[in-house]
Amino acid sequence: MRTIALSLVAVLVLGGAAPARSAPDDHAGAIAALADMRAAIAEIVRIEDGYAVGHAAYLRAAHRAMNALVGRRDDGYAASFGDPGDGVGTLGHLDRMLDQTGSSQWTPAVQGAKANVLAAAANLQSALGQKQMEDYQADLTRALASLALVAGRSTEGGVLGGLNGALANTSLAVPVGASVVSGCAAPKSAPAYGVVAGKLAYVALPRSAAATAIPAGLGVSRVELLGDTVVLYAPLARAAAASCSKVSRLQRTRVVARTSVPAPYVAAQAHAGIKVYARACLQCHGADLQGTAGPGVAGTDFLKNAQQNKWTLSELRTTIFENMPFSNPGSLTPKEYADVTAFLLAANCYPAGSTPFPATASPALKTVKLGPIPGVKPTNAKLGTCTVR
Surface-to-core class of residue 189, CB atoms within 10 Å of its CB (0-12 exposed, 13-18 middle, 19+ buried): exposed
Contact by Cβ (8 Å): 4, 208:
yes
Closest CA to 120 of 157, 68, 165: 68
Binding part of the chain for ligand HEC, among 93-101, 132-140, 264-272, 278-286 by CB under 6 A, reads: 278-286
Applying CB under 6 A, does 281 fall inside the site for ligand HEC? yes
Spacing of C-alpha 341 from chain mean position: 21
Pick one of 293, 303, 313, 346: the residue that binds ligand HEC (CB under 6 A).
293
Contact by Cβ (8 Å): 247, 198:
no
Pick one of 170, 314, 318, 327: the residue that binds ligand HEC (CB under 6 A).
327
Instruction: Output the smallest distance, CB 319 to ligand HEC, in A.
Output: 5
Applying CB under 6 A, does 320 fall inside the site for ligand HEC? yes
Write the CB contacts of 246 (distance below 8 Å, at least 6 apart in sequence).
none
Applying CB under 6 A, does 342 fall inside the site for ligand HEC? no
Torsion angle of C-alpha atoms 92, 95, 96, 102, degrees rounded to 10:
180
Binding part of the chain for ligand HEC, among 28-36, 121-129, 257-265, 287-295 by CB under 6 A, reads: 287-295
Instruction: Output the smallest distance, CB 325 to ligand HEC, in A.
Output: 3
Cα–Cα separations (whole angstroms), residue 218 to 31, 166, 193, 199, 352: 12, 9, 11, 13, 46
Task: Identify residues 129-188 at the interface with ligand HEC (CB under 6 A).
Answer: 180-182, 184
Contact by Cβ (8 Å): 223, 233:
yes
Applying CB under 6 A, does 295 fall inside the site for ligand HEC? yes
Contact by Cβ (8 Å): 302, 348:
yes
Instruction: Output the smallest distance, CB 278 to ligand HEC, in A.
Output: 10
Pick one of 197, 340, 365, 368: the residue that binds ligand HEC (CB under 6 A).
340
Binding part of the chain for ligand HEC, among 31-39, 107-115, 161-169, 277-285 by CB under 6 A, reads: 277-285
Contact by Cβ (8 Å): 348, 383:
no
Pick one of 67, 169, 283, 385: the residue that binds ligand HEC (CB under 6 A).
283
CA 118 to CA 209: how far, in whole Å? Answer: 40
Pick one of 234, 284, 368, 370: the residue that binds ligand HEC (CB under 6 A).
284
Please enumerate, as own/partner, the contacts of 21-27 that have beta carbons within 8 Å and a separation of 24 or more.
21/176, 21/177, 21/283, 22/279, 23/100, 24/96, 24/97, 24/100, 25/175, 25/176, 26/97, 26/104, 26/106, 26/172, 27/167, 27/172, 27/173, 27/174, 27/175, 27/176
Instruction: Output the smallest distance, CB 295 to ligand HEC, in A.
Output: 4
Cβ-based nearer residue to ligand HEC, 89 or 329: 329
Applying CB under 6 A, does 345 fall inside the site for ligand HEC? no
CA 40 to CA 121: how far, in whole Å? Answer: 10
Pick one of 294, 329, 378, 384: the residue that binds ligand HEC (CB under 6 A).
294
Cβ-based nearer residue to ligand HEC, 61 or 316: 316
Cβ-based nearer residue to ligand HEC, 76 or 295: 295
Write the CB contacts of 253 (distance below 8 Å, at least 6 apart in sequence).
314, 315, 366
Applying CB under 6 A, does 197 fall inside the site for ligand HEC? no
Cβ-based nearer residue to ligand HEC, 200 or 324: 324
Instruction: Output the smallest distance, CB 285 to ligand HEC, in A.
Output: 5
Which residue type, as a one-letter code, is found at position 310? K
Which positions from 300 to 319 touch ligand HEC by CB under 6 A, shown as an x/- string?
Answer: --x--x----------x--x
Cβ-based nearer residue to ligand HEC, 42 or 278: 278
Applying CB under 6 A, does 289 fall inside the site for ligand HEC? no
Residue numbers of the site for ligand HEC (CB under 6 A)?
A: 180-182, 184, 280-281, 283-285, 293-295, 297, 302, 305, 316, 319-320, 324-327, 332, 340, 344
